């Protein structure tokens, strides 16, 4: 199916649900097929498990983010040609290419499954160094060569090394550092208060208020931010802070920013403050250490806005001084 009306949820039926179930089964969650063409309990469970495995919010509802992840999961290495185009190609096959190039030392960026200019340049460099046709297209010959060489060079994905080195040499003072504070609805007052507090401390700050995480990522990248902190309301008491992480790559700077932010916010909201890797669009698409902080309950967050803004200011200052925890 080319177009699906989303979201799909428990109780829905028809061809759209059947398409969802086929995609889930191809991704390894075939238990959903027991529901036939109905979105029953087995499909809800399959969606939840898929979401959890892909670093998405696990609610059992197939919305835009989950559907996009399912489409990307359907692309296996070697099944299509990969090259730089607009819009950029996305998929598990792109992530596999980036991982292979990174382990061989050709790809220095994060493994995000998005074929952009950096992936194209890395691919061209690999082709030049291995005597392949230097066309920037990953086809059967390139896939085979990556497979042969990759078996001999298991190692760390280079992107993790590069990020750490960049953060080790970054300035430790706040003056001139750039922060984007994003909010997805209902937290405009907190975002503004945080922006003012960090600006008064010497940093440059812009606010992004939009429900779409990809819009946040675009604005943060254009601004050349050193870090991004997203704020989202949560019905549960306390906070949890997510950073970008997959099975083969995790943002070290993002992980530490999440840790210091969760600790700071939990001092106001209570609880331990959970920290977890996720693949939300804003975390995946930003080019800098980024976190999304879910905070609640809403009534307490509203009353504690000044204190939370101060804690976020302190967390950013602490992270700038030591972005990798030693």
Residue 156: is its pLDDT beyond 70?
Answer: no
In the CATH scheme, what is the code of domain 172-321? 3.40.630.40
- Predicted pLDDT at 326: 57
Other CB atoms within a 10 A radius of the CB of residue 146 amount to 25
Q: Residue 2 — pLDDT band, cuts 50, 70, 90?
A: low
3-state DSSP percent of the chain in helix, strand and coil, to 5: 50, 15, 35
Residues 236-250: tens digit of each pLDDT: 999 999 999 998 899
Distances (CA, A) of 297 to 218, 220, 229, 237: 29, 27, 19, 5
Altogether, the residues listed in the chain come to a count of 326
pLDDT digits (tens, 9 = 90+) for 217-227: 999 999 999 99
Q: pLDDT, tens digit, for every residue of 175-192?
A: 999 999 999 999 999 999
Beta bridge partner(s), residue 138: 82
State mean pLDDT over 185-207: 98
| pTM, two decimal places | 0.92
Q: Is the pLDDT of residue 311 over 70?
A: yes
**Measured distance CA(326)–CA(36) in Å, rounded:** 54
Q: Is 14 left (phi over 0), alpha (psi -120 to 50) or beta?
A: left
Is pLDDT above 70 for 291? yes
Identify whether the C-beta of residue 205 lies closer than 8 Å to the C-beta of residue 180.
Answer: yes
Q: How many CB atoms lie within 10 A of CB 154?
A: 7
> What CATH architecture does domain 89-165 belong to?
Orthogonal Bundle (1.10)
pLDDT at 313 over 50: yes
Write out pLDDT tens, residues 6-47.
Answer: 999 999 999 999 999 999 999 999 999 999 999 999 999 999
Distance CA 224, CA 307 (A): 28
Task: Report the C-alpha gap between 214 and 227 in whole angstroms.
Answer: 15
Beta bridge partners, 206, equal 180
Which percentage of the chain shows pLDDT scores above 90? 89
**pLDDT class for 271, splitting at 50, 70, 90?**
confident
Q: Is 89-165 the same fold as 15-73?
A: yes
Domain boundaries, the chain: 15-73, 89-165, 172-321
The pLDDT assigned to 154 comes to 60
Least confident of 37-41, 52-56, 130-134, 164-168: 164-168
Do 177 and 185 touch, CB atoms closer than 8 A?
no
pLDDT band at residue 160 under the 50/70/90 scheme: confident
Asked whether 141 and 288 are in contact (CB, 8 A), the reply is no
Q: Domain 15-73 carries which CATH code?
A: 1.10.101
**Over pLDDT 70: what percentage of the chain?**
98
Average pLDDT of the chain is 94
């Amino acid at each position: 199916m080319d177009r699906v009306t989303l979201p799909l949820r428990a109780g829905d039926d028809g061809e759209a649900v059947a398409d969802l179930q086929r995609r889930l089964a191809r991704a390894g969650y075939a238990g959903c097929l027991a529901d036939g063409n109905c979105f029953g309990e087995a499909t809800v469970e399959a969606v939840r498990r898929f979401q959890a495995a892909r670093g998405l919010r696990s609610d059992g509802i197939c919305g835009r983010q989950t559907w996009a992840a399912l489409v990307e999961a359907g692309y296996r290495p070697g099944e299509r040609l990969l090259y730089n185009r607009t819009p950029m190609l996305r998929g598990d096959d792109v992530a596999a290419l980036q991982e292979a190039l990174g382990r061989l030392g050709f790809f220095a960026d994060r493994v995000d499954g998005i074929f952009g200019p950096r992936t194209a340049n890395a691919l061209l460099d690999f082709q030049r160094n291995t005597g392949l046709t230097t066309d920037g297209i990953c086809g059967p010959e390139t896939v085979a060569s990556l497979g042969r060489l990759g078996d001999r060079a298991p190692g760390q994905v280079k992107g993790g090394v590069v990020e750490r080195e960049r953060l080790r040499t970054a300035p430790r003072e706040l003056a001139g550092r750039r922060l984007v504070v994003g909010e997805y609805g209902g937290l405009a007052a907190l975002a503004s208060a945080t922006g003012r507090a960090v600006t008064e401390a010497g940093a440059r700050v812009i606010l992004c208020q939009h429900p779409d995480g990809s819009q946040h990522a675009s604005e943060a990248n254009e601004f050349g931010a050193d870090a991004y902190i997203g704020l989202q309301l949560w019905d549960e008491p306390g906070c949890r802070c997510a950073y970008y992480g997959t099975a083969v790559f995790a943002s070290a700077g993002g992980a530490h920013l999440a840790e210091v932010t969760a600790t700071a916010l939990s001092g106001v909201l209570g609880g331990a403050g959970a920290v977890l890797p996720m693949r939300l669009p804003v975390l995946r698409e930003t080019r800098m250490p980024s976190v999304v902080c879910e905070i609640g309950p809403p009534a307490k967050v509203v009353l504690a806005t000044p204190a939370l803004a101060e804690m976020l200011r302190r967390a950013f200052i602490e992270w700038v001084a030591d972005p990798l925890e030693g």
